[in-house]
Every structure is written in structure tokens, then in C-alpha cells.
């Protein structure tokens, strides 16, 4: 995506579905038809073909599309076209043009902090009616990718705090960071317990923004900057991607950015419990009983179920303002991936109408979520004989549901609450979806918030 420089040539990109290829040939000049046939172009999805002008330079490009999917129609072109400036020349609706243009930007993404990438990239000139919207969503999604892709050496709790501060400074937010022993003084004992074993002190990151009289929107993100599993140590394979365990925090921060940038009429409160689940002599242990801000005691059945423990304090704190809505993002369970795979995050809510609206919004912007139930009979799986609740289910069955039920215990019943168990990762390269950090559920929730507050 780019802004046009003076006298810069712009090459049209014209979509063509395979079903319309014969009709195009009937209307095109014979030389163009001959060129397409000689190039083997049949308008199949993924195919593209440059048509030369009299001077031999490309006059326009045709590319094959799938009519059902808008978001990734241009994504492959962003990685394959030669360096030049292009514009989309189509009769698509505004929504489809915006989606496809965003997909171009996502396909152009490259995380080059540690490895230089000097490859020339084609640029897309955005239509004026979608320019600001597409750029905003693109910046937010790339923020998630950059934060998740950065290894813990450079994205620990203190660096995550700096990332929050940068967004606050950019949009006029206010911050309050509670660090180390101050977590105990200010009654965030669960966050302290999980993070105390790390060289980087645990902290609660808080950012507020907006009119104090507006409805309170609380966004909570799991900020486990690395998860060894604690004393219940993960395997090497299980630990390999754990730099991404702060993916929930990345989503919450990027969503906060969108809320502020678009000036939604809310009192925004962002909360990120930022910790590293490390191993040392003072690490919390299986069997420990951990106090929480809400007053509930938690038996630690597994130190590798640490995300829900730190979120318990943040959610309880979020509810103290009697917010209009609480939303948390967390890379919480492997069970969610087993249930729905890597690309479809489960959504839980104590208000069915909110869940339905978010899922519908996700369908509209091609950022799908799927609602799973807060099935109350499964609460018996997280009961404890010596504490109010156990952080680990007594059975592996229904693991993402029991994790959500644990979180629900720290949310006030009357407050609408949404929990999204996101993966925050692309496992392999696909057009528009490079391997690495990814925003899953971000655009869906923002679409819903735009509708709810406007």
C-alpha cells in the first residue's frame, strides 16, 4: 500500500473469474486473446498475466479470483508481481475492495528485525474511500504480528510495557504500571505468584483513554511473555513457540489502538498481566494455594496452566469499574486448537447475544470465530477439596471449556464478558498469512465494537 508520487505510472489490476473468461475473450481485442492463450492464462485462482502496451510495458494485469473470498484475492500478487505501483480496477463493492486491499497489505508483511530483506515489493494505490480504514486495520494487525514474532529476549514484561506506553503516547492514553512487590501491596497476588521466578519482574500494565463519563470498555490480554511450563516443565517441542504466549496481550493492545484511533465513544481500560513463567527456587509449585484479588483461593493443579491464573486478577480488577463490556484475549489452551484447529478461535460469553453478534461480525470481515458453551456441569472438573477452585481440570476432556469456566469465576455475573482463546500464529506460509505471529479475532471484535458503540 502506498501514496502516489508525482508522474508515477500506475498499472491497473483487473480481476477475472474463470467462469467469466469466455465472456472476456469475446469482448477483448484479438491480440489480447491471443496473448492470454499463448501465456496459458485461464483466469484460474492464483493465475496472473501482464498485457503489454505498444511500448512493451505492461498496460494492465489480469488475475484469476475466487468469487467467494475477498480478503486474500490480492494477497498472492503482493508477493509475486514485479516492482511497480498498481491499483485495483474492478467493480467490486466497497467492502470487497477494502478486504482485498487489506489482504494485499497482509501479503506484503515481512518481519525483518533480525534478517534484512532487500527484495523489492510491488505497491498498491488505495482508493480514497477505503484508504484510512485499510491502513488502520493493516497497522493494527501488523502490530500483533510484530509483537508476537519478537523473541522474549526483546519482548519480556518490561519491553511489553514499553509497547503499551508507545500506543498510549501516540493517542493520548494514560498508563499505570504495577511492578514486582507492588503487586502484593496493591492486591494482585496471582500475577505476582506466577511471575516472581523470572529475572524480569511481573507487572500489571494498565492504560486508560477516553471520556470518563462514557461507557467503560475493558480489554484484557494474557501477557505471558514466555512459558516454560514452570515446575511442570514443557518439553522442548512444547516450549519452542512460547514467545507467542503473550499473543493475547498483543491482540488486546492492537484492539485498544483501533478503539483510540477511531475515537469510539468509550472509556477504554486496557489491562495486561505481563509475566514470564520461569523456573527458579521461588517458582510457584503444584499443590500451592494461591490467593487472588477477588478473594477466591486457587489450588495449583498444574503450573503450566498459568495464563488463567494471571488473568484471574486482571478480570476481577476489570469488573470493579462496573464496565459496560469486558473482553479478554488469551493464547490459553491447546485444547482449543484440537477442537477447532489453528485458524478458528473459540469464543465464550456469558451473554449469548454478544457472542452471536461478534461471530456474525467475524463472518462479515472474514475473521471467523466459533462460539462454544460455558457448559456449567463441567465446573465439577475444576473443583478443589482444599481451595475454592483448581487451575487445572481433573480430566483433559473439554479443556478449553474448563479454562473458560475458570475465568468466568472471576467475572461478575451481570457484566457482559467475552473470552477468546486465540492461537496468534500461522503454522505455515500461505498468501497473506506468512508463518509466524497472526491476529485472529481482532478485526471481528473491532467490527462488533464499531456497531455497539456507534
Phi-psi region of 364 (alpha: psi -120 to 50; beta: other; left: phi over 0): alpha
**Residue 234 designated active-site:** yes
Helix count and strand count (H, E) for the chain: 15, 19
**Residue 263 designated active-site:** no
Return d(Cα 184, Cα 361) in angstroms, integer. Answer: 40
- Give, for 353, the enclosing helix (H) or strand (E): helix 352-364
List the grid coordinates of 123: 505497491
CB within 8 Å of 380: residues ≥ 6 apart: none
List the grid coordinates of 121: 515489493
CB within 8 Å of 115: residues ≥ 6 apart: none
Check: CB of residue 445 under 8 Å from CB of residue 361. yes
List the grid coordinates of 266: 468509550
Return d(Cα 193, Cα 414) in angstroms, integer. Answer: 29
- Tracing cell 485499510 back to the chain, one arrives at 134
Helix pair 307-319, 399-408: axis angle to 10 deg: 30
Tell which residue, 311, 341, 343, has the closest CA to residue 328: 311
Q: How many CB atoms lie within 10 A of CB 383?
A: 13
Task: List the catalytic residue out of 243, 267, 308, 433.
Answer: 308
CB within 8 Å of 315: residues ≥ 6 apart: 220, 326, 328, 407, 410, 411, 417
List the grid coordinates of 23: 465472456
Q: How many CB atoms lie within 10 A of CB 451?
A: 13
Check: CB of residue 297 under 8 Å from CB of residue 388. yes
Task: List the catalytic residue out of 25, 121, 135, 234.
Answer: 234
Residues shown for the chain:
454
Q: If you compute the radius of gyration of the chain from its CA atoms, what whole number of angstroms results?
A: 24
Report, as residue numbers or ranges, the catalytic residues: 234, 308
Amino acid at each position: 500500500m502506498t501514496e502516489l508520487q508525482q508522474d508515477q505510472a500506475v498499472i491497473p489490476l483487473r480481476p477475472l473469474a474463470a467462469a467469466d473468461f469466455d465472456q472476456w475473450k469475446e469482448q477483448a481485442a484479438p491480440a489480447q486473446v491471443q496473448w492470454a492463450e499463448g501465456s496459458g492464462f485461464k483466469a484460474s485462482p492464483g493465475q496472473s498475466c501482464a498485457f503489454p502496451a505498444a511500448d512493451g510495458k505492461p498496460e494492465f494485469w489480469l488475475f484469476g479470483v475466487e468469487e467467494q473470498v475477498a480478503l486474500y484475492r490480492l494477497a498472492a500478487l503482493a508477493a509475486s508481481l514485479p516492482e511497480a505501483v498498481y491499483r485495483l480496477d474492478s467493480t467490486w463493492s466497497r467492502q470487497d475492495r477494502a478486504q482485498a486491499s487489506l489482504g494485499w497489505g497482509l501479503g506484503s508483511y515481512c518481519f525483518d528485525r533480525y534478517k534484512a530483506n532487500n527484495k523489492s515489493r510491488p505497491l498498491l494505490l488505495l482508493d480514497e474511500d477505503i484508504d484510512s480504514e485499510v491502513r488502520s486495520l493493516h497497522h493494527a494487525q501488523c502490530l500483533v504480528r510484530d509483537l508476537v514474532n519478537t523473541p522474549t529476549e526483546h519482548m519480556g514484561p518490561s519491553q511489553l510495557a514499553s509497547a503499551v506506553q508507545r500506543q498510549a503516547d501516540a493517542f493520548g492514553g494514560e498508563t499505570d504500571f504495577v511492578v514486582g512487590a507492588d503487586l502484593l501491596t496493591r492486591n494482585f497476588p496471582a500475577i505476582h505468584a506466577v511471575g516472581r521466578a523470572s529475572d524480569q519482574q511481573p507487572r500489571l500494565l494498565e492504560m486508560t483513554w477516553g471520556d470518563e463519563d462514557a461507557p467503560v470498555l475493558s480489554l484484557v490480554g494474557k501477557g505471558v511473555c514466555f512459558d516454560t511450563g514452570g515446575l511442570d516443565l514443557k518439553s522442548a517441542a512444547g516450549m519452542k513457540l512460547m514467545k507467542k504466549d503473550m499473543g493475547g496481550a498483543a491482540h488486546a493492545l492492537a484492539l485498544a489502538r483501533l478503539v483510540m484511533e477511531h475515537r469510539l465513544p468509550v472509556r477504554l481500560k486496557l489491562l495486561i498481566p505481563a509475566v514470564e513463567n520461569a523456573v527458579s527456587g521461588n517458582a510457584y509449585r503444584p499443590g500451592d494455594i494461591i490467593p487472588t484479588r477477588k478473594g477466591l483461593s486457587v489450588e495449583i493443579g498444574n503450573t503450566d496452566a498459568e495464563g488463567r491464573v494471571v488473568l484471574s486478577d486482571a478480570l476481577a480488577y476489570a469488573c470493579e469499574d462496573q464496565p459496560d463490556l469486558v473482553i479478554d484475549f488469551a493464547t490459553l489452551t491447546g485444547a482449543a486448537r484440537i477442537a477447532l484447529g489453528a485458524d478458528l478461535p473459540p469464543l465464550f460469553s456469558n451473554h449469548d447475544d454478544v457472542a452471536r453478534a461478534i461471530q456474525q461480525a467475524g463472518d462479515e470481515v472474514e475473521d471467523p470465530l466459533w462460539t462454544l458453551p460455558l457448559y456449567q456441569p463441567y465446573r465439577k472438573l475444576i473443583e478443589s477439596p482444599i481451595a475454592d477452585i483448581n487451575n487445572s481440570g481433573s480430566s483433559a476432556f473439554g479443556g478449553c471449556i474448563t479454562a473458560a469456566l475458570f475465568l468466568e469465576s472471576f467475572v461478575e455475573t451481570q457484566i457482559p464478558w467475552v473470552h477468546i482463546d486465540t492461537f496468534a500464529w500461522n503454522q505455515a506460509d500461505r498468501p497473506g498469512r506468512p508463518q509466524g505471529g497472526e491476529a485472529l479475532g481482532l478485526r471481528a471484535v473491532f467490527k462488533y465494537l464499531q456497531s455497539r458503540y456507534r
